[in-house]
Structure 1
């Protein structure tokens, strides 16, 4: 029987259940068993570890509850694609979300153009009619899979230096955080069905569930940027931690 340490540093026996749970979890987290990998059947695990099927079932139940595996009736248990977490009340780069999954990050700029605000944007964003934008569409990857579609407007009246920034190599969100201090931010979060160009760019079927985060930031009075992030819904969740005011 293997051993663990208690809070006082003293060795204590590790149960077989804990050992099986730890070994399976390590194989998943380390990437030895990648997403989609089938976990050995319960009967196989009972033979490998010389234990009861009840013990194995309890381990698999815990792994499923932790979001590490998916149990499919008659088909077995499979490692799931890890879901990223984004803080609702924080502003950070997409790269950090991808790195938290242990996957390589890649970014590509799809569209960059300067244009005037459209009537709907003037109303929705409370802007002057002659406001000029830098309009950017980009895509973020986690490994080989599209992770997030970013559609961003940067107010060139508030951030004129953005027109000379090289967003082909540096994501606009990263550039803005390092160059433009902001004072107020607002998030809008909603669920939508994938459609049109967004569905194609995220490699999703039409109607697939997506999580959309729309954010506006201001520096004093002028709006700095408005951005819409679209994530495949099954691979992303939002987390907020706060305390009473």
Structure 2
């Protein structure tokens, strides 16, 4: 079974990398244009993949975990490595002592949690493989609080469907101001036992380059789904209304919303 899982992960990762690399290889107009016929075909295929994976894997299927001896190198950073936003820099200068994680939206009890409060919650440590859409992978040990119990504290309303992660790092300057990274997952992945808000990496505090003070680990999806520098979590019933309304920063540029592997 383990051999099947690993082979399947390699196949799906390669497929996702191939599809996502089409825009980067000069085929953006043909394959990446949102609303175009090729892109529509890819999105229908992605929706089918999402449904099939849910049927085959179920909600609690675990991503492969590894032994410490299989950690061969430091965790390679993905995406932004040094946010220059003033509010983030002020927090980093104080070792994130003033950090608060806001949990809002479709919840009964909005939360505002310090990093110490999050660290004092029940923790999970897991050694997993990070698969990047660029084609590289890296095994590392992550420690953090499981997202599901934290959502239970907030009391998720029945109408909620998605968990939106709002981040500190500015990706570009838009017409309406800074465009900050954001990402989203459904409640099935949010409540998965391996989905954690990580504050530790390889036995030490999470470095800035890897997303300090908190990053999401969604172990059954590609790296761009694992938002770094998380500022707030918002429960919602729709992906509309943030960015391009497609559920994530890179999704607005044509990446699949469901980056399952």
TM class, shorter-length: under 0.3
Q: Which structure: larger Rg? A: 1
More helix by share: 2
More strand by share: 1
TM-score (structure 2 length as normaliser) = 0.25
TM-score (structure 1 length as normaliser) = 0.26
